[in-house]
Amino acid sequence: MPQNTALIFGYNDYTFEIEKNIKSHYEFIHIFQLDAEKEPKDRGEYKIYSFDLSENWDDLSASVNIDTCVAFCLLEDMAENIFLTISLRETFKMLTIVALSKDKESTDKLMLAGATRILPTTQTTANIIVDMLEKPIITEVLHGILYEKSDLKIVQIKIDNDEFFNGKYPADIDWSRAHGIIVLSVFNDDMSSEFIYSSKEKHHIIKSGDVFVVVGYDEDIKNFKKMIGSKVD
């Protein structure tokens, strides 16, 4: 049965960036605000439903066909997000759950809690996503990850051997053709993140210590890590 309803749990800046990216793929989108959450600046175009973490989900089961739904757990408090994921998984065994994660520890806990897919915050930081959505290939890749149509992964890779790049800028490299990957953004020395086609990164020579946020297939990612002298998991 096709999944035509998105259930977005969380009412924050991530909510509206995700909504913009998925609205063309779902017939219905329902946004749920945790009672304790503050309202974001942008209220968007949807009616906002309230919920709390003690829900038994009877009202949800009565209002939507769970078999046609995908749930996005986007609570910024990771303990609450993990609890929400556990609660949804306990009630809806076959529900596809895409959960927001801030670090590896929360990723591991969310997977144990029953998340189907993980959304790292490095992927969903608002200023990066806005740029991503202007690149059709990035939108297609992100869509593939969310809807489980591929074995694509999003990882962070530290550059240990900048000699491999011979003084090049990130935007000068055809990453897909040369290495079978897509580089979304770069973390610099101060741990600020820039989309690789931003004006700042167009003038940033790749150097050791940079951290790339990369999309690709597992084998291509491993081969790329070997080439740049990065640790292969």
* Cβ contacts of 161 within 8 Å, gap of 6 or more: 208, 228, 229, 230
Task: Classify each residue of 151-179 as buried b or exposed e, where b means 16 or more C-beta atoms within 10 Å of its C-beta.
Answer: ebebbebebeebeebeeeebbeeebeeeb
Q: Is a pLDDT exceeding 80 seen at residue 131?
A: no
Higher pLDDT, 14 or 75: 75
Q: Is a pLDDT exceeding 80 seen at residue 57?
A: yes
Average pLDDT of the residues in 37-46 = 61
User: Which of 15-24, 72-81, 103-112, 146-155 has the weakest average pLDDT?
Assistant: 146-155
Q: Is a pLDDT exceeding 50 seen at residue 2?
A: yes
Confidence of residue 133 (pLDDT cuts 50, 70, 90): very low
Domain boundaries defined on the chain: 5-122, 152-228
Query: Domain 5-122 falls in which CATH fold?
Result: Rossmann fold (3.40.50)
Q: What is the pLDDT of residues 164-187, one digit of tens each?
A: 888 887 777 777 777 888 777 777
Q: What is the pLDDT of residues 75-123, one digit of tens each?
A: 989 999 999 999 999 999 999 999 998 888 888 899 999 999 888 775 5
Q: Is a pLDDT exceeding 80 seen at residue 153?
A: no
Residues paired with 70 in a beta bridge: 6, 96
Mean pLDDT, all residues of the chain = 77
Residue 119 CB neighbour total at 10 angstroms: 23
Looking at the domain that runs over 152-228, which CATH code has it been given?
Answer: 3.30.70.1450
Give the per-residue pLDDT at 193.
Answer: 54
